[in-house]
Amino acid sequence: MAIQIKAPAFPESVADGEVAAWHKEEGDSVQRDELIVEIETDKVVMEVVAPADGVVKKIHVAVGETIESEALLAEIEEGAVATAPAASAAAVETDSSEAGTASAAAEMGPAARQMVEEHGLNPAEIPGTGKGGRITKEDVSAYLKDRPVAAPAKPAASEASAIVDVPSGPSGERIETRVPMTRMRARIAERLLEATTSTAMLTTFNEVNMAPVMALRKKYKDQFEKTHNGTRLGFMGFFVKAACEALKRYPAVNASIDGNDVVYHGYQDIGVAVSTEGGLVVPVLRDADFMSLADVEAAIVDLGTRAKANKLTIDDMTGGTFTVTNGGVFGSLLSTPILNPPQTGILGMHKIQERPMVVNGEVVVLPMMYLALSYDHRLIDGKTAVQFLVAVKDLIEDPARILLQL
């Protein structure tokens, strides 16, 4: 009996998707819950698995084709077994080698595949550390770093696809590689451009003394981790909770503009920016104001892990009333974060760096962090933005205020 494999039902915020990679070909055997195809949308990469054991009978869409919600992707003959014609020993050995290479090439994400193609690598030689032996971008980078460097041989004139020997000096050929932009990257670019052209974006800055939070972490981090089942006490939890308290005091920063109306949200759904191979994504912590510090830290780790593994759902990515982004993990000392429309505010954290500061007339060295608040000036006045950022600063410099809601 043939079973139809259809694309997932896309929510209203996602118009269509694109077939990113097929992990099976026509005639291949599949097992129940085995990955068949990846669908890339504007927000996430969705995986489609086999509903039953069988053989792929027909593939209806090719890689790169645009599909709509619940479109027919393929058909599976349930209970069938894949068969192959008899062949000579030499042919079998060759086919096995090619099949291994094809299988290895299929079991990798778009970013890893691009690196393999650019460097002319054999996927079968790259050990995969991902789920089910899947080759990741980090695996390709490690392979390139560890493989022995051999002297390049001059390619024959007829080998048009051979590796190019790039001469040095000003007379060298200027090599360029052109690859299509992924749907996620294109959507990110569209959203960033929309934010800069459709909002009156302005950024205000301040700095915060991180010594009190660092002392608190040092004192309680081991006990915190034991009590909360391995959850580590980080900095993001403090800033998310401080942002929630500040948003309650300054509701305009937690609002959004809808046409000629201002929508004030009576809840704090905090988006947390996460960097992935495909680009920056912003999964959302629902009702973050009701979450404990341990809940926030555990949720951030979970969202970050699933984001890097392309396991986030559309629900994880939609909504959000305010965003927190931490460029400090990459070494950024100061930046102006871009708004995530329709939100009207985004808080940027940065690198902690020791600096000489004047305290009570004396110069002392303190671990300081620059904070940046980008906001939509159409709704938020400069006074409100500055007061909001000062509130976050005060809460971080005296963490007990977060608990006492002072």
Is the distance from CB of 43 to CB of 184 less than 8 angstroms?
A: yes
As a whole number of angstroms, the distance between CA 60 and CA 58 comes to: 6
As a whole number of angstroms, the distance between CA 303 and CA 93 comes to: 44
Beta strand extents in 265-387 (DSSP E only): 270-272, 274-276, 279-281, 284-285, 322-326, 345-349, 352-359, 362-376
Which residue is it, tokens 């971080």?
Answer: 396
The single residue of 53, 258, 381, 394 carrying the catalytic annotation is 381
Of 341, 343, 369, 342, the residue nearest 355 (C-alpha) = 369
Task: Give backbone dihedrals phi and psi of 284, rounded to 5 degrees, phi first.
Answer: -115, 135
The single residue of 119, 258, 377, 398 carrying the catalytic annotation is 377
End-to-end CA distance of the chain: 66
Known active-site residue 53: no
Known active-site residue 287: no
- SS3 (DSSP) at 143: helix
Q: Which string of DSSP letters, residue by residue, matches 30-85?
A: E-TT-EEEEEE-SS-EEEEE-SSSEEEEEE-S-TT-EE-TT-EEEEEEET------
User: Which residues does the annotation mark as catalytic?
Assistant: 377, 381
